[in-house]
Structure 1
């Protein structure tokens, strides 16, 4: 049986235990991550006594609760000791029957009988760095061989949130709305204060040209942001930063690229030779959302 629990009804100890023991474990489903990205606006669907859980984040539009994955929260979905299509289908049915959903993203381990759209992500799994580097594409290896002049006048350095914020404001791209940039910065600041997120910058002649934001979970390093000054895009500062983080962590941690659906980004990430992973998604247009809203009103399903 699946129960729908509001935030204050969730047994977070049992929820966390289920996540930690799950085959699908993802840092993005943790209370720590969701409390920040969803601003504590999330519920949980629970199968029996926390044998499986599914976090459900939401927003309000004109007073209506709508399911929507938060910014930089790429994957959620069902978490259980062993991925089970039948159980996943039960959660999918419950979600579609009881919620208005604009965008919900499952994880790459979740499998379904239903035909769902998919998106793409890339992962590098723990291994010796020498083995990982050997698999890099020839182009990526060339990019990492910096010119002597660049090598002599550049450095990598971790920077404070205050320094990072200035660079991000000037070079953030790809967000749909202006207020998304503010939400992103606030989220990054909170994660930085909690020691989960750090900013690594590439300096050239004492000026930041590239910067990445990396989130650390106990077994995962996730690339949550990649910011570049377009004037220096050919200098390979971003490649150098990502390679540095991989070198420092890949022996013990998964490196999660957190993306790959745009052709230019996919091409860039593929140079590191990660494994492509597809995850199921539900994405409904505004038109479909309005139709579902009318259907829910007729059934009296809102809560």
Structure 2
């Protein structure tokens, strides 16, 4: 039996144990992660937490709807053994009239195909030695790495999260629609908690004048590392900083992880950049369901 429970009614010990031991494990499903980034959330629970599906939700114009917050790449259904995942969608589409949610790559469905969009992230295998991985970079990446040497860039692991947020705010943040001050506060809290739990690391790149020119925050998830958020100084792009940043992360994590997840994009230009490191597409499903009354069809816009 599948039941929906709001966050306050969940048995968090059993819930987080399901996330930890799920076939589809990722860090995004943990209760502590969702507590930071979600306005409200609950979860569908199969029997005694044999499987769970966390649901971030909001309310607008008296309508309760499902929508992913910032700093969340994937959620989906988490189960300790293979389950009929279609049953969860039946419940979600019955309870919510608007749903937009990125599932994880191990979720699959044979129902509700018209409400599914295939999307991609880019992942790089780390199973080979670093020198072999680097040899597969394309010419542009190798040229940018040489620039980083010429400009005498340096890496700093475990730097100041506030400096990184300021870099992001002044560059990527100006191009992303409606990032609120509370979103930046959530990101800072999230990074601090991830660092404390030893599942997150911050990498900052400086030039020879000690100017911060690039950075990224990484999540360590068992055998996989994910680049959650990154930014470069858009006014200082001729030094190879972004390529150097990704290369230093690949070098560091190759020793202890199997997969480097760029966080990726279905946008062609971003995907092409990540593939220039030798990355490949990994598909996942995005649920997009709108059963609102006609007068409210466009409310989310």
- Does 2:163 match 1:166? no
Provide closer, same or farther for how the CA distance between residues 216 and 165 of structure 1 changes in structure 2, counting only shifts above 3 A: same
Q: For residue 214 of structure 2, what is the aligned residue in structure 1? A: 210
Alignment coverage as a number of residue pairs: 285
Q: CA deviation at 1:217?
A: 4.0
Give the secondary-structure state (helix, strand or coil) at the position aligned to 1:157: strand
Give the secondary-structure state (helix, strand or coil) at the position aligned to 2:216: strand
Q: CA deviation at 1:293?
A: 7.1
Q: CA deviation at 1:126?
A: 4.2
Provide closer, same or farther for how the CA distance between residues 277 and 82 of structure 1 changes in structure 2, counting only shifts above 3 A: farther
Q: Deviations over 1:84-124 (max 9, x none)?
A: 4xx11111111111113341111111111132212111223
Unpaired runs of 5+ residues, structure 2, are none
- Could you tell me how far apart the structure 1 residues matched to 2:279 and 2:150 are? 30
Provide closer, same or farther for how the CA distance between residues 197 and 184 of structure 1 changes in structure 2, counting only shifts above 3 A: farther
Q: For residue 4 of structure 2, what is the aligned residue in structure 1? A: 4
TM-score, with structure 2 as normaliser? 0.85
Q: Residue 107 of structure 1 is aligned with which of 104, 107, 122? A: 104
- Could you tell me how far apart the structure 1 residues matched to 2:253 and 2:277 are? 15
Give the secondary-structure state (helix, strand or coil) at the position aligned to 1:267: helix
| Paired residues of 2:168 and 2:230 also in contact (CA < 8 A) | no
Q: CA deviation at 1:222?
A: 2.0
Q: For residue 58 of structure 1, what is the aligned residue in structure 2? A: 57
| Paired residues of 1:220 and 1:255 also in contact (CA < 8 A) | yes
Q: Deviations over 1:221-257 (max 9, x none)?
A: 3212221222322322011111111211123233221
Provide closer, same or farther for how the CA distance between residues 184 and 271 of structure 1 changes in structure 2, counting only shifts above 3 A: farther
| Paired residues of 1:7 and 1:42 also in contact (CA < 8 A) | yes
Q: For residue 202 of structure 2, what is the aligned residue in structure 1? A: 199
After TM superposition, the structure 1 = structure 2 runs for residues 245-284 of structure 1, keeping only pairs within 5 Å, are 245-253=249-257, 254-284=259-289
Q: For residue 88 of structure 1, what is the aligned residue in structure 2? A: 85
TM-score, with structure 1 as normaliser? 0.85
Q: Deviations over 1:20-53 (max 9, x none)?
A: 22111111111121111114x1111011221211
Provide closer, same or farther for how the CA distance between residues 183 and 221 of structure 1 changes in structure 2, counting only shifts above 3 A: farther
| Paired residues of 1:4 and 1:46 also in contact (CA < 8 A) | yes
- Aligned-residue CA RMSD (Å): 2.3
- Could you tell me how far apart the structure 2 residues matched to 1:147 and 1:68 are? 39
- Could you tell me how far apart the structure 1 residues matched to 2:186 and 2:66 are? 19
- Could you tell me how far apart the structure 2 residues matched to 1:106 and 1:211 are? 27
| Paired residues of 2:148 and 2:240 also in contact (CA < 8 A) | no
Q: CA deviation at 1:148?
A: 5.2
Give the secondary-structure state (helix, strand or coil) at the position aligned to 1:43: strand
Unpaired runs of 5+ residues, structure 1, are 295-303
Q: For residue 27 of structure 1, what is the aligned residue in structure 2? A: 27
Q: CA deviation at 1:213?
A: 2.4
Q: For residue 221 of structure 1, what is the aligned residue in structure 2? A: 225
